[in-house]
């Protein structure tokens, strides 16, 4: 039986003019065979009404579908407009709470896949470790770009964010464009203080110039996350011609970066400066201590002194 030949050409079984010229009468068997070929040929076409479906991959021959509507189901084509606008990846303003945020994608996904990208505008600012639940498929941890859990402030209310599911190590969202968490402080002294001879003394600071992260209090910086931190300190001690002076950082009570300054004259105050990078674990503390062995009480003066620090790199 003739019909479609696999190259898009339709061949009939009979030519009725040839049949007439050959003197053949109309034959019901031939007529039915011809009509059956037409039927099968028609049913091999895709109806524009959508009544039937393709049974194999369709070759478009370099042409495109035009006039398409936006896709509304996971099995639909996406229009160029949807792709360009990014609406298929956008979950709107997140709901839930500060550390358990939720979004809804349309069309509704049935699963979340490795390397899937999702966009949203934060409805909350996170205050610690945070999760994201997409369409109720399960709350999944959000980590920063360095695969570290969030600690607070990386997601800020009303700002847009892009996350990608990372299943290389474990299933979690990587925050591609996190808001850098500001961990930095600067403190000075307005009032003078005393430091006794041969006594390790915590150097006081009574004025905060700034403290991004609220990690400095009571003369002490407390690391909020594991990382490499840089510290600077400067303080002067009153003039005295005897002994030496020293300034040091203390990490949880253990001194480091101690700088000693011999005194050759009692005319001028001793200006002491120290600077250091140090690896800290979360909750470890750093403060400044002073030492002097003049044999008498000296003054930590109220001018030019400061203590500052900042996070250089999370680890």
DSSP code per residue over 216-275: EETTEEE-SSSEEEEEEEEEEE---SSSEEEEEEEETTEEEEEEEEE---SSSPEEEEEE
Q: For residue 295, is it within any domain?
A: yes
The pLDDT value recorded for residue 63 is 93
Which tokens belong to 308? 């500052």
Regions of the chain where pLDDT drops below 70: 168-170, 264
Are the CB atoms for 300 and 271 separated by under 8 Å?
Answer: no
The pLDDT value recorded for residue 125 is 94
Q: For residue 71, is it within any domain?
A: no
CATH of residue 209: 2.60.120.40
This prediction's pTM? 0.65
Last residue of a domain, one of 175, 204, 219: 175
Report the residue count for the chain. 315
Domain shared by 21 and 93, yes or no: no
The pLDDT value recorded for residue 264 is 66
Domain shared by 24 and 1, yes or no: yes
Q: For residue 75, is it within any domain?
A: no
Domain shared by 171 and 189, yes or no: no
The pLDDT value recorded for residue 87 is 93
Q: For residue 110, is it within any domain?
A: yes
Q: For residue 73, is it within any domain?
A: no
Are the CB atoms for 154 and 101 separated by under 8 Å?
Answer: no
Closest by CA to 153, choosing from 184, 130, 186, 172, is 130
Report strand pairing: 100-103 vs 130-134: parallel
Report strand pairing: 10-11 vs 298-300: unpaired
Closest by CA to 213, choosing from 189, 229, 200, is 229
The CA distance from 62 to 52, in Å, is 23
Domain shared by 95 and 134, yes or no: yes
Question: What are the two backbone dihedrals, phi and then psi, of residue 301, each rounded to the nearest 5 degrees?
Answer: -75, 165
Which tokens belong to 131? 């999760």
Tell me the pLDDT tens digit for each residue of 151-181: 888 899 999 999 999 976 568 999 998 777 7
Q: For residue 70, is it within any domain?
A: no
The pLDDT value recorded for residue 26 is 84
Q: For residue 260, is it within any domain?
A: yes
The CA distance from 50 to 134, in Å, is 33
Tell me the pLDDT tens digit for each residue of 80-128: 999 999 999 999 999 999 999 999 999 999 999 889 999 999 999 999 9
- Give the count of domains, the chain: 3
Domain shared by 134 and 226, yes or no: no
Domain that residue 137 falls in: 80-175
Q: For residue 267, is it within any domain?
A: yes
């Amino acid at each position: 039986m003739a019909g479609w030949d696999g190259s898009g050409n339709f061949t009939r079984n009979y030519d009725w003019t040839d049949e007439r010229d050959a003197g053949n009468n109309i034959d019901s068997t031939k007529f039915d065979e011809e009509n059956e070929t037409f039927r099968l040929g028609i049913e091999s076409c895709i109806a524009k009404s959508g009544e039937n479906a393709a049974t194999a991959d369709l070759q478009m021959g370099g042409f495109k579908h035009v006039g398409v509507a936006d896709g509304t189901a996971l099995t639909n084509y996406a229009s160029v407009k949807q792709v360009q606008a990014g609406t298929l990846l956008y979950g709107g303003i997140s709901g839930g709470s500060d550390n358990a945020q939720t979004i809804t994608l349309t069309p509704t996904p049935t699963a979340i896949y490795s390397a899937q990208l999702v966009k949203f505008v934060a409805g909350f600012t996170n205050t610690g470790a945070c999760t994201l639940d997409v369409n109720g498929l399960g709350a999944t941890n959000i980590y920063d770009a360095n695969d570290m859990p969030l600690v607070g402030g990386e997601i800020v209310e009303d700002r847009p964010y892009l996350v990608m599911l990372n299943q290389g190590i474990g299933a979690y969202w990587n925050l591609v464009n996190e808001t850098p968490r500001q961990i930095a402080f600067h403190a000075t002294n307005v009032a003078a203080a005393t430091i006794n001879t041969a006594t390790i003394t915590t150097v006081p600071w009574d004025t905060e110039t700034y403290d991004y992260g609220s990690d400095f209090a009571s003369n002490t910086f407390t690391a909020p996350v594991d990382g490499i931190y840089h510290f600077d300190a400067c303080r002067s001690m009153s003039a005295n011609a005897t002994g030496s002076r020293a300034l040091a950082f203390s990490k949880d009570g253990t001194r480091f970066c101690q700088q000693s300054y011999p005194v050759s004259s009692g005319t001028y105050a001793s200006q002491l400066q120290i600077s250091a990078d140090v690896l800290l674990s979360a909750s470890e503390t750093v403060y400044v201590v002073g030492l002097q062995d003049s044999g008498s009480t000296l003054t930590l003066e109220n001018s030019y002194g400061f203590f500052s620090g900042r996070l250089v790199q999370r680890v």
